[in-house]
A and B are shown apart, each in its own frame.
Chain A
Amino acid sequence: MSELLRIENLSAAAEDKELLHGVSLEVSEGETHVVMGHNGAGKSTLGSVIMGSPEYKVTGGKLIFNGEDITALGADKRARLGIFLSFQNPIEIPGITLSDFLRNALEQVTGKHLKLWDFKKKLAAAMELLDMDSSYADRDLNVGFSGGEKKKAEILQLLILEPKLAILDETDSGLDVDAVKTVSKGIEEYKKRTNGALIVITHNTKILEALTVDKTHILSAGSIVSEGGAELVDEVIENGFEQFAGRE
Chain B
Amino acid sequence: MKEKTQVVDIDRSRYDFRYEEDESEYLESGIAPEIIKAISDEKNDPEWMREFRLKSLEIYDHTPMVDWGPDISGLNVDSIVAYIRQKNRMKTDWEDVPEDIKETFEKLGIPQAERESLAGVGAQYDSELVYHNVRQEVAQSGVVYTDLESAMHDPKYADIIKSHFMKLVPPTDHKFAALHGAVWSGGSFVYVPKNVHLDIPLQSYFRLNAKGAGQFEHTLIILEENSYLHFIEGCSAPKYYEASLHAGCVELYVGKGAKLRYSTIENWSKNMYNLNTKRALVEENGTIEWVSGSFGSHVSYLYPMSILNGRGASAEFTGITFAGEGQNLDTGAKMVHNAPETSSYMNTKSISKSGGVSTFRSAVVVKENAKGSKSSVNCESLMLDSISRSDTVPVMDIRTKQCDVGHEAKIGRISDETVFYLMSRGLSEEQARAMIVRGFADNVSKELPLEYAVEMNNLIGLEMQGGIG
Contact = CB atoms under 8 A, between A and B. Distances in A.
Interface of A: 51-55, 57, 74-76, 78-80, 84-85, 87, 90-91, 93-96, 101-102, 104-106, 108-109, 140, 157, 161
Given A109-B425, A161-B425, 12 more contacts: A54-B2, A55-B416, A74-B428, A91-B417, A94-B439, A95-B440, A95-B441, A96-B436, A105-B426, A108-B425, A157-B425, A161-B426
Interface size bracket, B side: 20 to 34
A79 B442 contact: no
Contacts of A79: 423-426
A96 B460 CA distance: 14
A91 B439 CA distance: 13
A109 B426 contact: yes
B429 interface: yes
A167 B429 CA distance: 21
B435 A91 contact: no
Contacts of B427: 76, 104-105, 108
B420 interface: yes
Given A91-B417, A96-B435, A51 B425 contact: no
A79 B428 CA distance: 10
B422 interface: yes
B441 A108 contact: no
B418 A93 contact: yes
B431 A84 contact: no
Given A91-B418, A93-B418, A108 B442 contact: no
A94 B440 contact: yes
A93 B438 CA distance: 10
Contacts of B426: 76, 79-80, 105-106, 108-109, 161
A79 B427 CA distance: 8
A91 B420 CA distance: 10
B443 interface: yes
B423 A74 contact: yes
23 contacts: A52-B423, A53-B420, A54-B2, A54-B420, A74-B428, A75-B423, A76-B423, A76-B428, A79-B424, A90-B421, A93-B436, A93-B439, A95-B438, A95-B441, A95-B442, A95-B443, A101-B425, A101-B435, A108-B426, A108-B427, A108-B431, A109-B425, A161-B426
B118 interface: no
B424 A104 contact: no
Contacts of A90: 421
Instruction: Determine the main DSSP class of B at the interface with A.
Output: helix
Contacts of A75: 420, 423-424
Contacts of B442: 94-96, 140
Interface centre among A57, A74, A102 (most CB of B within 10 A): A74
Given A76-B427, A95-B443, A104 B435 contact: yes
Q: Which 8 A-B pairs have the closest CB atoms?
A: A95-B439, A95-B442, A75-B423, A108-B426, A79-B426, A105-B425, A109-B426, A96-B439
Nearest to B1: A54
Interface string B399-432: 0000000000000000011111111111111011
Interface of B: 1-2, 416-429, 431-432, 435-436, 438-443
Nearest to A157: B425
A156 to B, nearest CB: 12
Contacts of A140: 439, 442
Nearest to A86: B424
Contact of A54 (B416, B425, B439): B416
Nearest to B446: A95
Nearest to A76: B423
Contacts of B436: 93, 96
Contacts of A93: 418, 421-422, 435-436, 439
Contacts of B418: 91, 93
A31 B220 CA distance: 71
A157 B443 CA distance: 25
Nearest to B419: A54
A109 B428 CA distance: 10
A76 B432 contact: yes
Nearest to B421: A91
Contacts of A105: 422, 425-427
Nearest to B439: A95
A85 B443 contact: no
Interface centre among A80, A87, A96 (most CB of B within 10 A): A96
Nearest to B349: A95
A123 to B, nearest CB: 14
Interface centre among A53, A55, A95 (most CB of B within 10 A): A95
B441 A78 contact: no
A57 B2 CA distance: 11
A96 B438 contact: yes
A104 B426 CA distance: 9
B435 A108 contact: no
Nearest to B444: A95
Contacts of A84: 424-425
A201 B50 CA distance: 80
A37 B100 CA distance: 74
Contacts of A94: 439-440, 442
A140 B422 CA distance: 14
A55 B417 CA distance: 8
Interface centre among A57, A79, A102 (most CB of B within 10 A): A79
Contacts of B439: 93-96, 140
Contacts of A53: 420, 424
Given A101-B435, A108-B431, A140-B439, A55 B420 contact: yes
A51 B1 CA distance: 13
A85 B424 CA distance: 7
